[in-house]
Amino acid sequence: MHVAQISFFNDPQGRAPERLLEAWPSLVDVAEAASTANVRVSVLQASIHTHSFTQRDVDYHFLPFGRAPGAEAHRKDLEQLLHALGADVFHVHGLSFVHDVARLAELRPATPILLQDHADRVPPFWRRGRWRAALARSTAVSFCARAQAEPFKRARLIPSHARILQIPESTSRFTPGDRARARRLTALQGNPAVLWVGHLDENKDPLTVLDGLSAAMHSLPDLQLHCCFGTAPLLHEVEERIARDRLLRPRVHLLGRVTHERVEELMRAADLFVLGSHREGSGYSLIEALACGLPPLVTDIPSFRALTAGSVGRLWPPGEAAGLTEALYGIVPELGAPMRAAVRAHFDRELSSAALGAKLATAYGGLIQAPAETTGT
């Protein structure tokens, strides 16, 4: 079975192919996961560069197509490559590349198309006609959680014949490692030591998290929160909230942007992982936490519920600080090596490269065997 994983999104920075694969590890991880399940994988990536190479049994083809500058001039190159590959399935990253998907279906009408959601939103009303026409050419649409398909179904964007699949968006190469060593390397403090890895924005809702943790500090005086973040539109509000709270001031540490390697060590060292997201397409940092065996204390949203199976760690209602406090009180007595082992075991079963590869291979095989079958599951 040969699958072409296609990304129409062009890197705005125009990085060289090898550098881009380092910057976008999920592109590599998803491809290699499928490859480990005895699937031949070719990755087609929109780029200003033209380059092909093989890396760990995956064939990569970078060329201008999709939204890359010069795509129209290289249109024939893409067509020739698609015909030469003769893939059995097209796996397209993202739902919004409607013009490209329509063209793909015209070029290879007999080839099943799997569209994978990457935090896509239902488009405005005036654009939905084009979406419907493109998605009508798909054989299946995958989400991190099936519940995420509901807004698209209500907008009548997903055709009745298309399968709706639940497949994790990616995996992680992080490992639990040596926790004692990680504590020494990071000098992470707290009992429990709580770790945040995410932007400081309204969606991830750090202010609600601070409210919930502050309330808990009356009973958990040794709790400390360590925050890694990239973009921070709410940084001023976060700093003000910390400054006016005598409990938070000495116990919240804003680390800012840290390296990916540092994130892994911090996750190995921490006792709990926390996020207050209201909406996520998936949750890469949550997947990484689970890979490290770090128990999650995250919001009860569809993607987080799917990634944790609703039973690993604790879920709490988005926007409800009291819910976070209650969930924290419930999980603290259970923290320790057995829980960390259970978290990692869950990752191995459901989210590891082997697990993701098996799910992708099953999905691909089902589309080849009965591409036109109608199902809602």
pLDDT over 80 (residue 71)? no
Q: How far apart are CA 8 and CA 256, in angstroms?
A: 31
Domains, the chain, ranges and CATH? 2-168+354-369 (3.40.50.2000), 179-351 (3.40.50.2000)
Q: Average of pLDDT values for 158-182?
A: 95
Structure confidence at residue 67 (pLDDT)? 72
Reduced to 3 states, what is the DSSP secondary structure of residue 373? coil
Structure confidence at residue 372 (pLDDT)? 47
Whole-model pTM: value is 0.93
Phi-psi category of residue 319: left, alpha or beta, with phi > 0 → left and psi -120 to 50 → alpha: left
- By mean pLDDT, which of 75-79, 186-190, 265-269, 290-294 is the weakest? 75-79
* pLDDT mean across residues, the chain: 94
Structure confidence at residue 72 (pLDDT)? 75
Tokens at residue 255, please?
């680390």
pLDDT over 60 (residue 196)? yes
Query: 115-156: per-residue pLDDT in tens?
Result: 999 989 999 999 999 999 999 999 999 999 999 999 999 999
Query: 299-323: per-residue pLDDT in tens?
Result: 999 999 999 998 899 999 999 999 9
Q: How far apart are CA 311 and CA 300, in angstroms?
A: 11
Structure confidence at residue 77 (pLDDT)? 87
Q: How far apart are CA 1 and CA 27, in angstroms?
A: 20
Q: How far apart are CA 51 and CA 21, in angstroms?
A: 13
Structure confidence at residue 376 (pLDDT)? 39
Which residue would you say has higher pLDDT here, 10 or 276?
Answer: 276
Structure confidence at residue 234 (pLDDT)? 97
Q: Average of pLDDT values for 55-71?
A: 87
Structure confidence at residue 352 (pLDDT)? 97
Query: 217-266: per-residue pLDDT in tens?
Result: 999 999 999 999 999 999 999 999 999 999 999 999 999 999 999 999 99
Query: 15-46: per-residue pLDDT in tens?
Result: 999 999 998 999 999 999 999 999 999 999 99
Which helix (H) or strand (E) is 169 found in, with range?
Answer: none
Banded model confidence at residue 369, pLDDT cuts 50, 70, 90: confident
Structure confidence at residue 370 (pLDDT)? 60
Structure confidence at residue 308 (pLDDT)? 97
Tokens at residue 253, please?
């540490």
Structure confidence at residue 309 (pLDDT)? 93
Query: 123-132: per-residue pLDDT in tens?
Result: 999 999 999 9
Structure confidence at residue 250 (pLDDT)? 97
Q: What does 44-113 look like in DSSP terms, one character per residue?
A: EEE-SS-EEEEETTEEEEEES-TTSTTTGGGHHHHHHHHHHH--SEEEEE-S--HHHHHHHHHHSTTS-E
Q: DSSP letter at 352? A: S
Structure confidence at residue 126 (pLDDT)? 92
Query: 318-361: per-residue pLDDT in tens?
Result: 999 999 999 999 999 999 999 999 999 999 999 999 999 999 99
Structure confidence at residue 75 (pLDDT)? 77
